[in-house]
A and B are shown apart, each in its own frame.
Chain A
Amino acid sequence: MQMSLSNFFDNPERLDRWITIAQSSFLPLVKGALLYSLTLAIVAFFFGLILAILTALARISGIKPLVAIARVYVSIIRGTPLLVQLFIIFFGLPSIGIMIDPIPSAIIGFSLSVGAYSSEVVRAAILSIPKGQWEAAYSIGMTYWQALQRVILPQAARVSVPPLSNSFISLVKDTSLAAAILVPEMFRKAQEIVASTYEPLLLYSEAALIYWIICFILSIIQDRLENKLDRYV
């Protein structure tokens, strides 16, 4: 350990090589991050949230078949690893004739995952809104969907911003799993560059750094959003 460490620092050529590789790999990695990792996360989060709201409403509805479907869905997704789910969608389904490209496969997998995990957050948020809000909405003649859309969900959104922001940040990092089903996102880019340069420590650290910067920016956005939503409380 000590030997190799001193070797490394005594070797100016290696350091130069690192700087060169870091410089040339930076742009492809950032491109992978913005074009694929982040985009994938945003698209999957969008569909996932819709799924989460529907699942939460199904759970709350008290209609037995709907409650059962929602429960089974959440149980399966939460009880199996995301990587395994992605493999089933991308490598498994073709054997029954369903071929889905890497990116759509990833979107489906991540959306299902967000839908299941966030449904519990959304459910708790909806249930946290006082019953009087539903009644006030009904009393001015609103239907269930109008009350939900205009009165309940906007308030539930405020309650669920902190936990949902955390889910989104997790999702951004989880998109690295898509590397395994051939999506050319940042982590896969890093793997490809490692394959040609044999510098795993450098490349994977660089990827980690970019993930960290993205998540850091996202957490700042999260703070701002929370402040903005807090204004009327």
Chain B
Amino acid sequence: MISITDLHKQFAQLKVLRGISLDVAKGKVVVIIGPSGSGKTTLLRCLNALEVPTSGSVQIGDVRLDFSKKVERSSLPSLRKQTGMVFQSYNLFPHMTALENVMEGPVTVKKISKEKAKEKASSLLVKVGLGDKLDHYPAQLSGGQQQRVGIARALAMDPQVMLFDEPTSALDPELVGEVLKVMKELAQEGMTMVVVTHEMGFAREVADEVIFMDQGIIVEHGTPQQLFTQPREERTRQFLQHLK
């Protein structure tokens, strides 16, 4: 489903990604962990070209972009249509209600009729447990509720892959659970997911594969069991020690 080959990203003099290759099969949940500055968020943002990689290629579904050649800006939406993204700070559209937020993609990008989009958006919001908040504006919702609207907004585009960028990091501890619950349900339904998170409990329970990144490379990857209990690399051990 996802195939990344030798991905590099450089900001001015700073090399953030130094050759990342990774394959994710359909229906798998991959959790990326690592210290801040390790490049994990940048990697995630390269997957939908919010950051345009310096070189390397990204394939999602049947869309492949090779960034070693010149990539037209007009070809980026094709990659983005394969992916849904959930942001750390939700980034809901504040001038639209929850329902309008979720309808926006289908109506504006996919040109689906308003009635159909509305029907679909309502059912998605019911699914994330917000059936009674359709007409609320983001400012009237808690962080956990906003993030669930964010998930519904991404799902509305029928993405092949869902990308989560520290989806619970901005939330109060008691609101984290409701967001993780929705993510777990998605995983159980067979959604392919790439999740950057500090929630090790989620990683242990839901991930098929955990990736540990540091200084722009993948240091180690494996099943949660493997990585959390018997890390091979010293650097991974240090990092996991810090978490305890």
Interface residues of A (CB under 8 A from B): 130, 132-133, 135-144, 146, 150-151, 154-155, 158, 231-233
Chain B residues within an 8 Å CB radius of A144: 73
Are A150's CB and B104's CB within 8 A?
A: yes
Binds A, one of B78-86, B115-123, B193-201, B233-241: B78-86
Chain B's closest residue to A231 (CB) is B137
Q: Specify which of A133, A142, A151, A232 lies most central, judged by the most chain B CB atoms within 10 Å of its CB.
A: A232
Are A133's CB and B91's CB within 8 A?
A: yes
B101 CB, nearest partner CB in chain A, Å? 9
B92 at the interface (CB under 8 A from A): yes
Chain B's closest residue to A155 (CB) is B95
Are A139's CB and B109's CB within 8 A?
A: no
Interface residues of B (CB under 8 A from A): 48, 50, 73-74, 76-77, 80-81, 83-85, 87, 89, 91-95, 104-105, 108-110, 137-139, 153-154, 156-157
- Cα A150 to Cα B100 with chains together (Å): 11
Contact partner of A142 (CB less than 8 A), chosen from B73, B77, B87, is: B77
Are A141's CB and B93's CB within 8 A?
A: no
Interface SS of chain A:
helix
- With contacts A150-B104, A150-B108, A232-B95 taken as known, whether A139 is within 8 angstroms of B48 at the C-beta atoms is yes
27 pairs from A and B in contact (CB 8 Å cutoff): A132-B91, A133-B93, A136-B85, A136-B92, A136-B93, A136-B153, A137-B93, A138-B76, A139-B50, A139-B80, A139-B83, A139-B85, A139-B87, A140-B84, A140-B105, A140-B109, A140-B153, A141-B77, A141-B109, A142-B77, A142-B109, A143-B74, A154-B95, A155-B95, A231-B137, A232-B94, A232-B139
Chain B's closest residue to A143 (CB) is B77
Beyond A140-B157, A232-B95, 9 additional pairs, beta carbon < 8 A: A139-B48, A140-B84, A140-B104, A140-B154, A141-B81, A144-B73, A150-B104, A155-B94, A232-B94
How many contacting A-B pairs (Cβ < 8 A)?
72
Chain A residues within an 8 Å CB radius of B157: 140-141
Are B154's CB and A146's CB within 8 A?
A: no
Contact partner of A132 (CB less than 8 A), chosen from B76, B89, B153, is: B89
Across chains A and B, which 6 residue pairs bring their CB atoms closest together, nearest first? A140-B105, A136-B91, A139-B85, A132-B91, A232-B137, A141-B81
Chain B's closest residue to A158 (CB) is B95
Chain B residues within an 8 Å CB radius of A136: 85, 87, 91-93, 153
Chain A's closest residue to B96 (CB) is A232
Chain B residues within an 8 Å CB radius of A233: 94, 139
Chain A's closest residue to B153 (CB) is A140
A27 CB, nearest partner CB in chain B, Å? 43
Chain A residues within an 8 Å CB radius of B84: 139-140
- Cα A176 to Cα B199 with chains together (Å): 66
Chain B residues within an 8 Å CB radius of A139: 48, 50, 80, 83-85, 87, 154
- Cα A144 to Cα B72 with chains together (Å): 13
- Cα A135 to Cα B89 with chains together (Å): 11
- Cα A135 to Cα B93 with chains together (Å): 11
Chain A residues within an 8 Å CB radius of B110: 141
- Cα A104 to Cα B184 with chains together (Å): 64
- Cα A155 to Cα B87 with chains together (Å): 19
Chain B residues within an 8 Å CB radius of A158: 95
- Cα A231 to Cα B95 with chains together (Å): 9
Contact partner of B80 (CB less than 8 A), chosen from A132, A133, A141, A150, is: A141
- Cα A154 to Cα B105 with chains together (Å): 16
Chain A residues within an 8 Å CB radius of B93: 133, 136-137, 151, 155
